[in-house]
Structure 1
Amino acid sequence: MADEQFYYNPSTGEVTQGKEATWDERMGPYATREEAEAAIQNAKERNKQADAVEEADANWGKPASWEK
């Protein structure tokens, strides 16, 4: 049975059908070629959102009076 899932290779920028690259050279699996092609952009957007949440969480306001 052939692998019908798609993978994105961040090193080469190529989308492949099936596990042609090693696990550390592929993102996925994705159901469609289009989803695999959008893998990097989706990851960048998720990272940006996570960074914003982390930055907001790290902002505890003014330091305590003894820390000035």
Structure 2
Amino acid sequence: MTSLIGRNIRRLRRRSGYSQAQLAKRACISQAWVCRLETGDENPTLASVTRIARALGVNVADLLAKPSEWAS
């Protein structure tokens, strides 16, 4: 699940055109934390998932979705 969330964060961040630093600033978290989440090295907290979803303008469910559930 951790790697799935990380892949989704990376995919949605790139789609939004944000760098890790830009996303971190928008979500009020550190760039290092964004990096560790994207690589699956850390388990996200509910608070961080919520902040990231808001910063990306998506629902929390979008960060939890399997690739087969992604809209094109």
TM over 0.5: no
* Bigger radius of gyration among the two: 1
The higher-RCO structure (CA 8 Å, 6+ apart) is 2
Q: TM-score, normalised by structure 2?
A: 0.24
Greater fraction of residues in helix: 2
